[in-house]
């Protein structure tokens, strides 16, 4: 069954946990979709895990549209959510609507995700008024890395915990259909999840959220630059890939590959006539 922003809200009402993973290309999106994940996030994490930047700040609208369109072609049932990249919405409400529209129109996203709290609620309202479902994102918001001074757990003191709850409520009030909580203490994320009616999707926010999201290269051990504490590695695909690449290199070097079954035939007489 096709997942939508509406089925997300219904899942919370029924107490069903939601699953979300990132993808940035057609083949991976197809594998995720066939596995039955509720949602595929085309995260701006693509800047780091696909493009090799040290943070997400350099990702452009063109990058996001290009990768979202590839994912959308591979996702039949999963809800495709595209991240709005740094400076595609912070600049004005107008820019936010125009760029959200481009992700839907050109990238075929079914929803967009924006980082930030009270300061972007007007942007969320305007995008929702344009009939584009919005997922919020609070806690550790990587686009604010320079303001935070690093990748740090958010909401640890009373004032910060209260602020996060206020932000979650404001995002719900602005019309978002869900909100990502990143790097938030588990008990705080659970409390926020209980106090708002839209689903919370946690990453480094404990088991009390209504759903979970991970970057797929992290959970498959394919990205070796950095391993956050909250990541569980479900398989070591990085090592499996390296073993396969090494076998290929060795077989090509020794002449084992390609074998006859990988080659095309031609009448020997034709070859004999060539000189």
Give the C-alpha separation, 170 to 56, whole Å. 25
- The contact set with ligand KIV (CB under 6 A) reads 22, 41, 43-45, 83, 180, 182, 203, 213, 215
- State in angstroms the smallest separation of the CB of 162 from ligand KIV: 23
- 209 vs 255 by CB, closer to ligand KIV: 209
Helix (H) or strand (E) holding 214: strand 211-214
Query: Given the complex with ligand KIV, which of 56 and 132 has the nearer CB atom?
Result: 56
CB of 41 to ligand KIV, least distance (A): 6
CB 80 within 8 A of CB 133: no
| Distance separating alpha carbons of residues 175 and 136, to the nearest angstrom | 10
3-state secondary structure of 181: strand
Residue closer to ligand KIV (CB basis): 22 or 88: 22
Residue 78: CB atoms within 10 Å: 28
CA-CA distances (angstroms) from residue 25 to 40, 58, 74, 137?
11, 19, 8, 22
Minimum distance between the CB of residue 26 and ligand KIV, rounded to whole angstroms?
Answer: 18
Rounded to a whole number of angstroms, the minimum distance from the CB of residue 22 to ligand KIV is 5
Least distance (Å) between residue 57 CB and ligand KIV: 12
Tell me if the bond preceding 258 is cis, omega within 30° of 0.
yes
Tell me whether residue 182 is one of the annotated catalytic residues.
yes
Nearer to ligand KIV, 29 or 203 (CB): 203
Closest to 115 (Cα-Cα) out of 52, 67, 183: 183
Q: Which residue is nearest to ligand KIV (CB)?
A: 43
Q: CA dihedral defined by 259, 261, 266, 272, rounded to 10 degrees?
A: 30
Cα 42 to Cα 174: distance, rounded to the nearest angstrom = 23
Comparing CB distances to ligand KIV, the nearer of 102 and 212 is 212
* CA distance linking residue 134 with residue 174, whole number of Å: 9
Q: Which of 54, 106, 182, 261 is catalytic?
A: 182
Gap between the Cα atoms of 252 and 45, Å rounded: 35
Question: Rounded CA gap, 99 and 95, in Å?
Answer: 6
Active-site residues, by number, are 182
């Amino acid at each position: 069954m096709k997942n939508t922003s509406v089925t997300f809200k219904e899942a919370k009402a029924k107490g069903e946990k939601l699953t979300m993973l990132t993808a940035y290309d057609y083949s991976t999106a197809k594998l995720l979709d066939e596995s039955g994940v509720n949602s595929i996030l085309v995260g701006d994490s693509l800047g780091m895990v696909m493009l090799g930047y040290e943070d997400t700040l350099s990702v452009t609208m063109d990058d996001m549209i290009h990768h979202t369109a590839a994912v959308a072609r591979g996702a039949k049932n999963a809800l495709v959510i595209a991240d709005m990249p740094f400076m595609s919405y912070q600049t004005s409400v107008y820019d936010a609507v125009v760029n959200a529209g481009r992700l839907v129109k050109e990238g075929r996203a079914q929803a967009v995700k924006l980082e930030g709290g009270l300061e972007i609620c007007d942007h969320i309202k305007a995008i929702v008024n344009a009939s584009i479902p919005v997922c919020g994102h609070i806690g550790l918001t990587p686009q604010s890395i320079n303001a935070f001074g690093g990748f740090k757990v958010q909401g640890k003191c009373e004032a910060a915990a209260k602020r996060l709850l206020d932000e979650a409520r404001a995002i719900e009030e602005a019309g978002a259909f869900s909100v990502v909580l990143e790097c938030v203490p588990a008990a705080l994320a659970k409390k926020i999840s209980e106090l708002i009616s839209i689903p919370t999707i946690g990453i480094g926010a404990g088991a009390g959220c209504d759903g979970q999201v991970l970057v797929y290269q992290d959970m498959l051990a394919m990205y070796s630059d950095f391993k956050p504490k909250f990541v569980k590695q479900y398989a070591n695909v990085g090592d499996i890939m390296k073993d396969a690449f090494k076998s290929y290199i060795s077989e090509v070097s020794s002449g084992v590959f390609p074998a006859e079954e990988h080659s095309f035939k031609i009448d020997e007489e034709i070859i004999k006539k060539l000189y």
